[in-house]
Chain A
Amino acid sequence: MYDAPTLERTVAKDDIKFAARKVQVYYGDTHAIKDVDVDIEDKTVTAFIGPSGCGKSTFLRCLNRMNDTIDVCRVEGDIYLDGEDIYDKRVDPVQLRAKVGMVFQKPNPFPKSIYDNVAYGPKIHGMAKNKAELDEIVEKALRRGAIWDEVKDRLDAPGTGLSGGQQQRLCIARAVATEPEVLLMDEPCSALDPIATAQVEELIDELRQNYSVVIVTHSMQQAARVSQKTAFFHLGDLVEFGETGHIFTNPEDERTESYITGRIG
């Protein structure tokens, strides 16, 4: 049986960052996401859990319109970021992605130096006027990514030469370097060992102070450890959404209970 931490976490603010209403996603003829309504709060970690293929990653990718790059993918319904419809025709996904950063399942640093990895986003968004400012941004991002101490002496070394956990933290640093308001994380620890996972989880908890974090995870322990809100997806449906402690200790839906107790999934 899963021993969930029942610690009730206080949610600092009730501001709604993302509001999704009746979101449908189709991959060609496949109806991947059905009628999802969810509110994601600011300065909160929201976890999406569910068995493989349930649509949690798909939904996450809707939040910064990364699905646009997939030709057969079609999104219906409304997703509001700070009250603005992100699927509005006037919205430039590039601008959206600067505001909604993303960390991927597999660490994917650019095959460039550590410095260039972090500096790339700020550079293309024109966030630094000169080299000194850029240096500052990079240092700040790397500190937030909790990797500064490890790499400060070798900023010119290739990012791909770091260990898996370091690479993932570098990717997080890269994502926060553009000062996003929301950070989407798609199974950020699935390729990491337990120690690196712990480091990243700790980092996520710190990031919560400044960002709204949405994390997709396969590990229910992880969801329980890092998140305040949890959404359970099953076969494209959002089955249950609520306080993490509540979901893990007192799930309302039968399917949620089956999943967290290991009967399905």
Chain B
Amino acid sequence: MVDSTAQTPAVGQFDHGSLKVTSPRLKKRWAAEFRLKLYGILALSAAAFALVALLGSVVINASKALTETYVTSEVTIDPEVIGVTADAPPEEIGRAEFGNLVDEMIEAKFPMASGRSAKRELDELISGGASFELADKVAANPSLIGETVTFDFLASDTTDLYLKGEFGALSDEGAEGLLSVSEGEDGTLTLSTSSNDFTEALKQVKTHLYEVAESLRTKADRQQNAVEVYTQRAEAAETEDDRQRQLDSAERARDNRDELLAEADMLEERAAGASGAEQVDDDNISILINAGGGWLRLTEVNRASGKAEMLTRVDLPIENSSDWTLYTSALPESERAISDRQIAWIETLKADGKTESVFNTRLFTAADSRAPELAGIKGALIGSLWTMLVTFSLAFPIGVLGAIYLEEFAPKNRFTNFIEVNINNLAAVPSIVFGLLGLAVFINVVGVPRSAPLAGGIVLALMTLPTIIIASRAAIRAVPPSIRDAALGVGASNTQASFHHVLPLAMPGILTGTIIGMAQALGETAPLIMIGMVAFIVDAPTGITDSATVLPVQVFRWSDFPERAFEAKTAAAICVLLIFLVLMNLIAIILRRRFERRW
């Protein structure tokens, strides 16, 4: 220290050095600035990536809901099947047994499907809604009864999803050799090819066996752990009874383990077998053959031969035919919602050009339904609109007037301070609490109808109010005081100054706040569930007192449904919600521009 003071130059003699050489201090500063920029860019990139990933996954999922599938077929409207005649009143025709007609139509296409379960699987190809649509058509034109008409039957969700590749498309394994199929005495079909066409399929079957064996061994490991635990407990047991019980448990686990291991050994042995034929059950991959105008499923497979069963009618015998295709489906039949039989039927319909995919207008024109192919968002959309209408017409005037009062007229005292603090606190109250309030006060005490947009709107208005008040106050405060002075200076009263000058200038800010609040309300789920807007509503509400649901609640409900097809519907509903939010922001921007350009 002492030394350095001796060397320190006098004040005003700081050495700045050459301008051409950047000083180390400055270099550090630049580096810090560069790092800061880098962090900013990184943060932005991460956010952008998250946004793109989110939007991408939603949009990709939603795109599956954009089309729906129809099965086109001729159908004879047989009065005996539907149970009404052409002279019956239209209402009765609308209620007639068209379901049977639709079932018979599809069953007639695949006469091989006999037996209850086969028929049920067949009927599942067509949506339950198809019969209603046919009924509506016939009811509108009773002269069709007895006629044969061509009608587009709405396909069921499984058919639709299969055609969109949701259950794993069939993969074409190619077929080089010539196929021969012959029917044995007992009805089993024996296949053979002239080259080893089934080698690849056999390999997949064996791979699958290995995988199953692997998972069995994992389970066996777990049993082994159990054995050890029980043995330890037995050693530590204090009474003979307890010890015996633990030993028994250990014994049972040991047996389980041995069983699993034995099964795994067996499977691996089968898989390792060099050339033996392999059984294919429905836990293994599906091997399907399209030949002779129909579909076969292999039940036993070897390199160039196999046994099969018929899925759809195949003209037998086939001898040295080159016109055949081998398909495999990696997903075992037992793990998908669609059976091999159904795949064969759908593929047949598709090959015949009977299926058609069209834009899904139903998504926007139908209300909720348990059947995914019939479900639409119209009900939720209209429910949302009604709710927003109530919210806006309550929250906007109250919020803006409250803000004006607090900003322009209220005396500054403890009471107004208290109110101010509480408004700020309200903005941070969890929305579910507002739902509870709505349930307890508005529904139970005031008697607002349950599940109605009125109740939802009131609750959301409460939730939005603080946002609007805070934003409006900020906007009003941002108006230069000179404008207020000018108005007061020419003799305007406080009210006139506020409403003629301050409010119009604050409007852009107020609108922005309002729209942010409304957007928040539009996406709100929890309080609405609380007040029962989670109901299953099949009709669009026609007013603010009808039972209704809203878009985010619909999304929530659909995401909870087990049917696979609702996944796409959920994503589609989310997209619509997002589009609405974007539209609202757009309106906010347009309004803002308009107000700003007014003069």
Contacts and interface: CB of A to CB of B under 8 A. Distances in A.
B489 A102 contact: yes
B81 interface: no
B488 A97 contact: yes
Interface string A85-113: 00000000011011001111010111111
A174 B491 contact: no
B505 interface: yes
A108 B492 contact: no
Nearest to A120: B490
B599 A171 contact: no
Interface in A149-194: 158-160, 171, 174-175, 177-178
Contacts of B411: 71
Contacts of B488: 66, 69, 97
B482 A104 contact: yes
Given A108-B480, A108-B485, A110-B501, A97 B599 contact: no
A124 interface: yes
Contacts of B489: 64, 66, 97, 101-104, 175
B485 A97 contact: no
Contacts of B480: 108
A22 interface: no
B491 A125 contact: yes
Contacts of B598: 111
Contacts of B599: 111-113, 158-160
A103 B489 CA distance: 8
B490 A177 contact: yes
Contact of A95 (B412, B490, B491): B491
Nearest to A171: B486
Interface string B456-500: 000000000000000000000000101111111111110010001
Given A120-B500, A158-B599, A160-B599, A110 B483 contact: yes
A121 interface: yes
B492 A94 contact: yes
Contacts of A106: 482
Contacts of B487: 110, 120
Given A111-B505, A111-B599, A112-B599, A124 B491 contact: yes
Contacts of A178: 490-491
Contacts of B493: 94
Nearest to A160: B599
Nearest to A118: B490
Nearest to B500: A120
Given A124-B496, A160-B599, A108 B491 contact: no
A229 B96 CA distance: 103
A58 to B, nearest CB: 14
A104 B486 contact: yes
Binding site of B, secondary structure by majority: helix, strand, loop or mixed? helix
A94 B491 contact: yes
Interface residues of B, number: 21
Most buried by B among A64, A102, A174: A102
Interface string B505-537: 100000000000000000000000000000000
Contacts of A66: 485, 488-489
A98 B486 contact: no
Nearest to A72: B412
A170 to B, nearest CB: 11
Name the residue in B480, B486, B491, B505 with the highest tally of chain A Cβ atoms < 10 Å from its Cβ. B491
Contacts of A120: 487, 490, 492, 500
Nearest to B484: A69
A102 B484 CA distance: 13
B412 A71 contact: yes
Interface in B343-384: none
Contacts of B490: 97-98, 101, 120-121, 124, 174-175, 177-178
Interface string A58-78: 000000101001010000000
Contacts of A64: 489
Contacts of B483: 108, 110-111
Nearest to B501: A110
A103 to B, nearest CB: 8
B486 A110 contact: yes
A103 B505 CA distance: 21
A112 to B, nearest CB: 5
Nearest to B495: A94
A101 B492 CA distance: 11
B486 A108 contact: yes
Contacts of B500: 120, 124
Nearest to B491: A98
A98 B490 CA distance: 6
Contacts of B491: 94-95, 97-98, 121, 124-125, 178
Contacts of B505: 111
B594 to A, nearest CB: 14
A66 B412 CA distance: 18
Given A101-B490, A124-B491, A108 B482 contact: yes
Residue from A103, A110, A113 whose CB has the most chain B CB atoms within 10 Å: A110
A134 to B, nearest CB: 14
Q: Which of A71, A94, A158 has the most CB of B within 10 A?
A: A94
A122 to B, nearest CB: 9
A103 B580 CA distance: 48
Contacts of A160: 599
B478 to A, nearest CB: 13
Interface of B: 411-412, 480, 482-493, 496, 500-501, 505, 598-599
22 contacts: A66-B485, A66-B489, A69-B485, A69-B488, A71-B412, A94-B493, A98-B490, A104-B482, A104-B485, A104-B486, A108-B485, A110-B483, A110-B486, A111-B599, A120-B490, A124-B490, A124-B496, A124-B500, A125-B491, A160-B599, A171-B486, A175-B490
Given A97-B490, A120-B492, 18 more contacts: A69-B485, A69-B488, A94-B493, A97-B489, A98-B490, A104-B482, A104-B485, A106-B482, A108-B483, A109-B486, A111-B483, A120-B487, A120-B490, A120-B500, A124-B490, A174-B490, A175-B490, A178-B490
**A-B complex: 4 closest residue pairs judged by Cβ atoms:** A98-B491, A121-B490, A108-B482, A102-B489
